[in-house]
């Protein structure tokens, strides 16, 4: 249950308005890249294009009757007050014929404010969204010119001619896993909770690894831990197969993709690995870490170009696998927490919560100043309890803060 004061918490919104361009813009249709256009980022089939009609983006101003301190830890992911702090304008929830952005700014009684953004994922990835918000930051702080101008250049991530599917793309292949009932669980029976991993928890987990794996990244370590605990908690058939996918950006210089500064489209891939349930659950943590490292190693320039070619070859724009799959994205370094609109750094900045089979790593600073990683996850109620028990067992001697960051609460999987 949410804190008692939520019974009187209220937000008064002004009428939504369209913020239009300051001067006339070209009326044209812009084609999305084949990476943008995959079904993983949307719910409509068929090839999509952007109608540049100059109608603008939706913007709402709102006033709250509470202070930031009253929210306590509830402001971070998963936020139980999301429906008050952002608004789905009727008719704006679809893909076709809808605004690409919706922004709500809510003023708090203490003088602070929340900035909530709902965006169309076919248009940009997390790095692209941060780039957009950084532009808002520069404008809000009086910059005369922008440091980075937006770049379209969708053709950089389109299929080759002719298409050449040269990589194995497990991420788009459904698994024959009959024991995974996660997707069929009633959304109202899902629990949504975040778990905090500070330096102590990371150290405890790394000490469980063999020496040759202790140089793993924090993402590899925590993603492996979450995947293993989640699989144990779901009590799947040991003979069934599960999949781990991670979102890897192609913007890194290592991949030599030459993604220009200012490109805000999706520049990510979902490399994946498989494991038998029994092997993942019964082996030490190092087994899962090695698999996560293997998934990340699949990422290359050729892999993402092959993925773009696969979209073209398949025609129906395949989406990522669902059954038996768990997808983790690292947002702790993209820069949400460094946004400063003139009032200082945010108390919390990141994705509103876990989404279905997705979890996101968010950078988080506790009240005592310690900085760590906050990871939200959705699970059926009984599975969440088993997840916590397994995680407690792995983090021997850790503080209870690992589990007290947010309350467990039942909410629909609709974010």
**Residue 95: what pLDDT?**
66
- Is residue 202 a contact partner of residue 261, using CB atoms and an 8 Å limit? no
Identify the H or E element spanning 296.
helix 285-297
**Residue 44: what pLDDT?**
52
Residue 16 has pLDDT above 60, yes or no: yes
Average pLDDT for the chain: 86
Average the pLDDT over 270-280 and give the result: 96
CB atoms within 10 A of CB 166: 12
% pLDDT > 90, the chain: 58
36, 75, 70, 66: which is closest to 348 by C-alpha? 75
Backbone angles phi, psi at 264, to 5 degrees: -115, 0
25, 119, 27, 102: which is closest to 61 by C-alpha? 102
Backbone angles phi, psi at 406, to 5 degrees: -135, 155
172, 128, 176: which is closest to 317 by C-alpha? 172
**Residue 414: what pLDDT?**
24
Strands 371-380 and 409-410: unpaired
3-state DSSP helix/strand/coil % of the chain, to nearest 5: 30, 20, 45
Options 237, 254, 340, 404, the catalytic residue? 340
* Spatial separation of the C-alpha atoms in residues 409 and 1, rounded to whole Å: 6
- Is residue 134 a contact partner of residue 47, using CB atoms and an 8 Å limit? no
CB atoms within 10 A of CB 107: 14
Residue 72 has pLDDT above 80, yes or no: no
Beta-bridge mates of residue 80: none
Query: Which pLDDT band holds residue 130 (cuts at 50, 70, 90)?
Result: very high
Residue whose entry in the numeric block shows the structure tokens 């750094």: 345
* Spatial separation of the C-alpha atoms in residues 245 and 295, rounded to whole Å: 7
Beta-bridge mates of residue 358: 327, 355
- Tell me, yes or no, if 340 is annotated catalytic: yes
Residue 129, C-beta contacts closer than 8 angstroms, at least 6 positions apart: 117, 119, 264
Identify the H or E element spanning 288.
helix 285-297
* Model pLDDT for residues 256-265, shown as the tens digit of each residue: 788 898 999 9
DSSP designation for 368: T
**Residue 178: what pLDDT?**
80
């Amino acid at each position: 249950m949410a804190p008692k004061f939520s019974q009187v918490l209220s937000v008064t919104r002004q009428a939504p308005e369209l913020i239009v361009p300051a001067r006339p813009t070209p009326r044209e249709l812009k084609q999305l890249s084949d990476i943008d256009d995959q079904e993983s980022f949307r719910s409509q089939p068929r090839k999509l294009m952007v109608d540049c009609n100059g109608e603008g983006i939706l913007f709402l101003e709102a006033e709250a009757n509470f202070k930031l301190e009253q929210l306590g830890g509830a402001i971070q992911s998963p936020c139980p007050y999301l429906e008050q702090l952002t608004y789905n304008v009727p008719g704006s929830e679809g893909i076709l014929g809808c605004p690409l952005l919706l922004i709500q700014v809510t003023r708090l009684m203490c003088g602070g404010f929340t900035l909530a953004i709902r965006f169309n994922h076919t248009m940009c990835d997390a790095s692209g969204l941060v780039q957009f918000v950084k532009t808002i930051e520069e404008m809000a702080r009086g910059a005369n010119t922008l440091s980075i101008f937006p770049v379209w250049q969708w053709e950089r991530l389109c299929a080759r001619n002719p298409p050449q599917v040269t990589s194995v793309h497990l991420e788009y292949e459904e698994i024959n896993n009959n024991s995974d009932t996660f997707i069929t669980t009633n959304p109202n029976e899902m629990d949504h909770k975040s778990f905090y991993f500070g330096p102590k928890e990371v150290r405890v987990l790394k000490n469980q690894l063999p020496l040759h794996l202790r140089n793993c990244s924090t993402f590899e370590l925590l993603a492996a831990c979450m995947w293993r605990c989640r699989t144990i908690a779901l009590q799947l058939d040991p003979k069934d197969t599960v999949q781990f996918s991670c979102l890897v950006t192609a913007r890194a210089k290592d991949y030599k993709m030459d993604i220009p500064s200012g490109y805000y489209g999706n520049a990510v891939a979902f490399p994946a690995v498989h494991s038998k349930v029994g092997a993942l659950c019964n082996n030490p943590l190092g087994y899962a870490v090695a698999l996560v490292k293997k998934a990340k190693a699949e990422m290359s320039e050729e892999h993402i170009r092959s993925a773009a070619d696969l979209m073209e070859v398949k025609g129906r724009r395949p989406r990522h696998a669902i059954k038996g799959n768990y997808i983790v994205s690292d947002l702790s370094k993209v820069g949400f927490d460094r946004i400063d609109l003139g009032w200082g750094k945010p108390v919390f900045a990141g994705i509103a919560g876990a989404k279905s089979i997705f979890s996101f790593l968010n950078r988080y600073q506790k009240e005592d100043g310690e900085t760590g990683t906050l990871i939200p996850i959705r699970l059926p109620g009984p599975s969440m309890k088993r997840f916590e028990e397994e995680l407690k067992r792995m983090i021997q001697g850790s503080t209870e803060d690992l589990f007290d960051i947010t309350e467990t609460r039942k909410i629909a999987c609709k974010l």
